[in-house]
Structure 1
Amino acid sequence: MSDFTSIKKRLRGSIAPIITPFYESGSVDFETLERLIHWHIESGTHGISVTGTTGEPSSLTVEERVQVMEVAMKAVGGRVPFVPGTGSTNHDETIYLTKKAEEMGVDAAMVIVPYYNKPSQHALYKHFKAVADAVSIPIIVYNIPGRTGVNMEPKTLARLHNDCPNIIGVKESNKDFEHVNRVLLECGRDFLLYSGIELLCYPMLAIGGAGYISATANVEPKKVAEVYDAYAAGNHDRALELHYELMPLNDVLFKDTNPAPLKAALGMMGKIKPVLRLPMDLPTEALQQEIREVLQTYVDLPSTSVTSN
């Protein structure tokens, strides 16, 4: 099996986790998805991901998830790496979606720690090994204990990396910064470590991270990408300046469950129809007003932009 050296060099920077846009009817708006992807790449985003947490995968059918991946893959067109989320709480479904991603020719698949089930570390090992063994493409583990109810421990991750050469990295949506340091200690400095916590995007680079998969990139793709570009160029002062400049936006976009504030913001920007599928919904009117007040300090909002609740 390949050591994935080439793709590991490309899988760096800001990999944007794109929202799944819906029409008011609730059906997937594929045309808007394509437009968003083109806008991201034109804005300097280094990679594209869909059907991760920000893409509301648990609100999509399996068939819709495959369609979203196919449309996104075509829109990306090989211009930047494409890393769709293929995990779920169902083992066979995860393997099916990951195989579908491989058939499409994606650069890597991001596989979430199964949510709701709360598996043991041994069960997590068996699950991820079976997924990795079922395909030949690179796998990025997605560890988000706040939404899955279980944490992938660094030693479990290291065991998987050692036994499965195509498990090449992890997205850590983990506020425990000691934990993420130990990931690189256990897995090795060539393991790709991405931040999924907005306030840790810059700090993760400082300890040897490969980049980040930040929901905030949906509304400020250029500045979020510039944090990495500046750091990689050795301009750490500029990267740090951007880190703090983005903090108020990061804060307000997570005052309700992602991607509800994000979709409200994109609706205000005129980028999408601000629609989520139940049981998700838009934030309260009070929070929407707060989002608007913060957002307008970053971008010019069209006067006709509205959201509904």
Structure 2
Amino acid sequence: MRLSEAKEKLRGSIAPIVTPFREDDSIDETALVELIEWHIASGSHAISVTGTTGEPSSLTLEERERVMEIAIKTSRGRVPVVPGTGSTNHQETLYLTKLAQEMGADAALVIVPYYNRPSQHALYQHFKAVADSVDLPIIIYNIPGRTAVNLEAKTLARLREDCPNIIGVKESNKDFEHVNRVLWYCGRDFLLYSGIELLCYPMLAIGGAGYISATANVVPDRVAELYNAWAQGDVKRAQDLHFELMPLNDVLFKDTNPGPVKAALAMMGKIYPKLRLPMDLPSKELQQEICEVLRRYTEVKFPV
């Protein structure tokens, strides 16, 4: 996908799909294909795999490759595919990003390296090397709550200037002042995506390109409709959906993502209720709360 084309197509709800597991801990490839088909039918504007919600740190390198391959082959160009290719390991990030390009991904979502706590200079060098290694559009993923370091707006602006294929950023950043400065320093044509559920609508209001929201796993049609309403100028409908989704957004983040999301999907009969250790499902009490909230939005087939 050319950069100009990517900037037009990579807008709206990019659904970060879970990696479903069987009871024996193996990847449930059939369930993954069915989830992707459901998202396409439900109106998600694009899909992402092996991002935070896809438990990449619980997958082997070979498994990440396989999930990426399934997503790209299943989508068959019907919606863009944006796999997460980032890691705390620089060489692994280079490898996965190059592989995503070879497989035919439409862009790569590259997370700020976690645990290492690199300096801003080191972050610049890391992302520049990744961007220089491919022609693929790159969306940087800034999630300081999980990486323990924030990619500063001025660092991002420098990367945008020096690397034409860095086209946007997913900001899982509750500092809305920082988010505003991203567009101020990087330019309002830079693609800004919300990774915070309660900021999906507010980011659209300041010129955001869309969002990558874990809640889209559960109600992909409504999360996509919020963007559609905004894009069509129906501000009231977008606002209504923003507040309508709040109870679900809240309950899905009472424990670490994707535990509650996977519990909800299991209640809907979409996947087997399984995460890989050290991640786990939420407590029985929280699962009951999730079930009660979920019934307001969709059919619940059975509790976990």
DSSP 3-state at the match of 1:84: coil
Residue 306 (structure 1) shift: 3.3
- The C-alpha deviation readout for 1:8-62, integer Å capped at 9, x for no partner, is 1000000000000000000001110000000001001000000000000000000
Counterpart residue number, 2:303: 306
Equivalent residues in 2 for 1:151-300, closer than 5 Å: 151-300=150-299
Q: Is the 8 A contact 1:50 1:72 kept in 2?
A: yes
Query: Map of 1:29-178 to 2, 5 A cutoff?
Result: 29-178=28-177
* 2-structure distance, mates of 1:133, 1:7: 17
Task: In structure 1, list runs of 5 or more residues that go unmatched.
Answer: none
Q: Specify the SS of the correspondent of 2:225.
A: helix
C-alpha deviation, 1:214, in angstroms: 0.2
Q: Deviations over 1:101-155 (max 9, x none)?
A: 0101111000000000000000000000000011110000000000000000000
Secondary structure of residue in 1 paired with 2:13:
strand
Q: Give the letter aligned to residue 103 of structure 1.
A: E
Q: Sequence identity of aligned pairs in percent?
A: 73
Q: SS state of the match for residue 203, structure 2?
A: helix
2:115 alignment partner, SS class: coil
- Structure 2 CA distance for aligned equivalents of residues 3 and 20 of structure 1: 28
8 Å CA contact 2:48–2:82 kept in 1: the answer is: yes
Q: Is the 8 A contact 2:48 2:81 kept in 1?
A: yes
State the distance in 2 between where 1:259 and 1:7 align: 28
Match of 1:12 in 2: 11
**Helix, strand or coil at the partner of 1:174:** coil
Amino acid at match of 2:12: G
Counterpart contact for 1:3–1:165, Cα < 8 Å: no
Equivalent pairs counted in the alignment come to 304
How far apart are 1:5 and its partner, in Å?
1.1
Cα displacement (A) at 1:219: 0.3
SS at structure 1 position matched to 2:201: helix
Supply the distance in 1 between the matched residues of 2:224 and 2:2 (Cα, whole angstroms): 27
Evaluate the alpha carbon distance shift between residue 290 and residue 297 of structure 1 in structure 2; reply closer, same or farther with a 3 A threshold: same
> Taking structure 1 as reference, are residues 3 and 163 closer, same or farther at Cα in structure 2, changes over 3 Å only?
farther
1:281, CA displacement in angstroms? 0.4
Shift of 1:3: 7.0
How far the C-alpha of 1:6 sits from its partner, in A, is: 1.3
The 1-side partners of 2:300 and 2:283 are apart by 19
Determine the C-alpha separation between the residues in 2 that align with 1:31 and 1:236: 38
SS at match of 1:279: coil
Counterparts of 1:7 and 1:249, CA distance in 2: 31
- Partners of 1:32 and 1:164 lie apart in 2 by 37
RMSD: 0.8
Match of 1:24 in 2: 23
Q: Return the alpha-carbon distance in structure 2 between the equivalents of residues 99 and 6 of structure 1.
A: 20
Output one character per residue of 1:45-102: Cα deviation in whole Å (capped at 9) or x when no partner: 0000000000000000001000000001111110011100000000000000001001
Give CA-to-partner distance per residue, 1:249-273, whole Å, 9 cap, x none: 0000000000000000000000000
Unaligned runs of 5+ in 2: none
Q: Which residue identity lines up with residue 77 of structure 1 in the other structure? A: R
TM-score of the superposition, structure 2-length normalised? 0.99
**Which amino acid counterpart does residue 5 of structure 2 have in structure 1?**
S
